[in-house]
Chain A
Amino acid sequence: MAVVELNNVAKRYPGSGSKGAAANAVDDFNLITRDGEFIVLVGPSGCGKSTTMRMIAGLEANTGGEIRINGRDVSQVAARDRDIAMVFQSYALYPHMTVFDNMAFALKLKKYPGEDIQKRVKEAAEVLGITALLDRKPRALSGGQRQRVALGRAIVRSPQVFLMDEPLSNLDAMLRVDMRAEIIKLHRKLKVTTFYVTHDQTEAMTMGERIVVMKDGRIQQIDTPNTLYHCPANLFVAGFIGTPSMNFLKMTLGQHGMMLTGPTARLLASPERQDLSNHRGQTLWAGIRPEHLRPTDADDCAALLTGEVDVVEPLGAVTMVQMTVDGHRITAQLDGDTRVSIGDTLTLTCDSDQLHLFDTETELALPRTHAMSTTTV
């Protein structure tokens, strides 16, 4: 168990210098975990998640900042001496060793006594339900079984920190959901500080105690899943977290700092938002989640988005509808029994406290007086 501390950590790969400062694969990464915390790193492919993990593991040297594990600066500590276990996306099992030997490898290197190794491997195998596979070679295992062996190899060591780099992305969808739950269960039991990388925001939301959202090597926001959903710090996080993605419209804030207007759309900002008075007359990005839109037939609402429906996807419990409003693609998640068809003109509305506003220039969220917010940028 451990507290991991990353201060201003940066990584520049050799040969990427010509592109200037933006060529840093990871930049200005700051995070202090709690002991036993489950941290998820999420972001689009190439945003620096693996690089961050590899720096914590010691497979890659950080070119800036410092990494501390339980207060000790590990920059000069080799990967094998950091007492960290890693689960690779490819599983990286030793193909020439049996499952037992794969799991026992690290223990043997540490010269644990034979019975102790037997006991630990058996225990870990039991927890993961792979006792029957101990004599097999990885070649003779299914993807899901290999995944379990990879986890087993990590847990037998009782390391200070677990690192998991997209461990589930090679599994099929059903198995992924099962393993997700299993990893969380395992974490509750072992309480080892864990870094978990995924590019899948659903996985991040369901697993993370805190989620680090990254883009282009930089942290966009570190928060609990709930806060990320309700108070995204910027346009990127707002669009990345939540499925389907948040809808965005470019609109102008009226002179009273309340009404947002586009060519045809109208939206009402929450009356409690005094902070908006500074932005009167400005063009802003307005964001609304699909699940917060609902149809209305009256003209009496202050918030109105009207357009022609061009996609209808009835999913049973809900019906997904897409239309174009003022040139912006709008997705709405409506009740399953809503009657709409393609070509219909539909008017949607939403509550003003579900409205997110972003500066068009900085793309930062205009801060909301939301009690939950503990936003870091």
Chain B
Amino acid sequence: MEPKRSIGLAVVGWLVALIMFFPILWMILTAFKTEQTAFSMTPQFIFSPTLDSFRTALDQGAGYWHYALNSAITSVISTLIGLALAIPAAYAMAFFPSKRTDFTLVWMVSTKFIPAVGVLIPIFLVYKSLGLLDTDAGLIMLFAAMNLPIMVWMVYSYFKDIPRDIVEAADIDGAGTLQTMVQVILPLALPGLASTGLLALIFAWNEAFWSLTMVDHNAATLAPFIASFKSAEGLFWAKMSAASVLTVTPIIVLGWFAQRQMVRGLTFGAVK
């Protein structure tokens, strides 16, 4: 009975995986088709692949690299800023908790309950008067703020994992706050910090709402790049798929390399 059940489970597992993977597969396949084949009503799995869509996509608008660079700058810098803010915040909450610590944590995450569109108008107006519309700096601030609650929460839980005794031992050994942080806490929480950073990076890279609303051309990231292929007339599925492949590939490759770090960080007890 045992082998039978595990075969059944394996079949179900594969099926679910296939269903989840299918859209991605379809996107990749479409990217290598001509617009005509892509548009055909009968799904085509066998066709002669072409790189035409990629060629067109790379030259679209200001060119792929303009958008990719903006995406890289905004996601990397917003992640670094997020970490720089989340680490001290989580440190205070994990090692010097007060009566309000739990409330603060919940409150921070509760800000994510508001749909982004609910604050679109005020933020748009503020950005407009500050001249932050269509700037990398503007997007960076939004991304950092958007990711901060989850980053604080994650770093907090990794810090919580570090036995308090160890921090106190460093204190008694003569280490100041900064020395304790740099020489004891950060090395111990490193896997966790890496996965927090990676997650923030992915969120920022894939962000679409603010990237489409607050940005016109200068600071346009890969999300507006993909969106720019949508047009009222003509065929665009293949080009759009090619652009999407170009967009997700870097982050998937990065995620894949970082995966081992991430798994280690996500499994608690890395410290003990």
Q: Does A94 contact B (CB under 8 A)?
A: yes
Given contacts A106-B173, A109-B174, contact A92 B168 (CB under 8 A): yes
Asked if A79 contacts B171 (CB within 8 A), the reply is yes
Q: Does A96 contact B (CB under 8 A)?
A: yes
B residues in contact with A105, CB < 8 Å: 170, 173, 175, 183
Residues facing A in B184-227 (CB within 8 A) are 184, 187-188
Q: Does A84 contact B (CB under 8 A)?
A: yes
Q: Mark A239-279, 1 if CB is under 8 A from B, else 0.
A: 00000000000000000000000000000000000000000
Asked if A84 contacts B172 (CB within 8 A), the reply is yes
Which of A14, A78, A95, A109 contacts B179, CB < 8 Å? A109
Which of A59, A78, A109 contacts B173, CB < 8 Å? A109
Asked if A80 contacts B175 (CB within 8 A), the reply is yes
User: Nearest chain A CB to B166's CB is how many angstroms away?
Assistant: 5
Per DSSP, chain B at the interface is helix
Per DSSP, chain A at the interface is loop
Q: Does B272 contact A (CB under 8 A)?
A: yes
Given contacts A80-B175, A109-B175, A109-B179, contact A94 B272 (CB under 8 A): no
Q: Which of B170, B172, B173, B176 has the most chain A CB within a 10 Å cutoff? A: B172
User: Nearest chain A CB to B128's CB is how many angstroms away?
Assistant: 47
Asked if B176 contacts A92 (CB within 8 A), the reply is no
Which of B169, B171, B172, B179 contacts A94, CB < 8 Å? B169
Asked if B166 contacts A59 (CB within 8 A), the reply is no
Asked if B172 contacts A85 (CB within 8 A), the reply is yes
Given contacts A59-B172, A84-B172, contact A90 B165 (CB under 8 A): yes
User: Nearest chain B CB to A81's CB is how many angstroms away?
Assistant: 8
Complex: chain A residue closest to B176, CB-CB: A80
Asked if A80 contacts B168 (CB within 8 A), the reply is no
Given contacts A94-B184, A95-B271, A95-B272, contact A59 B175 (CB under 8 A): no
Cα of A323 to Cα of B184 in the assembled complex, Å: 57
Q: Does A13 contact B (CB under 8 A)?
A: no
Q: Does A88 contact B (CB under 8 A)?
A: yes
B residues in contact with A94, CB < 8 Å: 166, 169-170, 184
User: Nearest chain A CB to B177's CB is how many angstroms away?
Assistant: 10
Q: Does B61 contact A (CB under 8 A)?
A: no
Q: Does B8 contact A (CB under 8 A)?
A: no
Q: Does B163 contact A (CB under 8 A)?
A: yes
Which of under 10, 10 to 19, 20 to 34, or 35 or more describes the interface residues of A? Answer: 20 to 34
Complex: chain B residue closest to A86, CB-CB: B172
Residues facing B in A87-134 (CB within 8 A) are 88, 90, 92-96, 105-106, 109-110
Asked if A92 contacts B163 (CB within 8 A), the reply is yes
Cα of A157 to Cα of B174 in the assembled complex, Å: 11
Given contacts A80-B176, A109-B179, contact A92 B171 (CB under 8 A): no
Cα of A78 to Cα of B179 in the assembled complex, Å: 15
Residues facing B in A52-87 (CB within 8 A) are 57-59, 78-82, 84-86
Asked if A79 contacts B172 (CB within 8 A), the reply is yes
Which of A15, A57, A90 contacts B172, CB < 8 Å? A57
Asked if A59 contacts B174 (CB within 8 A), the reply is no
B residues in contact with A109, CB < 8 Å: 173-175, 179
Q: Which of B173, B176, B187, B272 has the most chain A CB within a 10 Å cutoff? A: B173
Residues facing B in A200-236 (CB within 8 A) are none
Which of A15, A57, A93, A110 contacts B174, CB < 8 Å? A110
A residues in contact with B165, CB < 8 Å: 88, 90, 92
Q: Which of B168, B174, B175, B183 has the most chain A CB within a 10 Å cutoff? A: B174
* Extra A-B contacts (12), CB below 8 Å, given A105-B173, A153-B173: A14-B99, A85-B172, A90-B163, A94-B166, A94-B170, A94-B184, A95-B188, A95-B271, A96-B187, A109-B173, A109-B175, A109-B179
- Nearest 8 CB-CB pairs, A to B? A92-B165, A106-B173, A92-B169, A80-B174, A109-B174, A96-B187, A88-B165, A79-B171
| 21 A-B contact pairs sorted by A residue (CB < 8 Å) | A15-B99, A58-B172, A59-B168, A59-B172, A79-B168, A80-B172, A80-B173, A84-B172, A90-B165, A92-B163, A94-B170, A94-B184, A95-B271, A96-B187, A106-B173, A109-B174, A109-B175, A109-B179, A110-B174, A153-B169, A157-B173
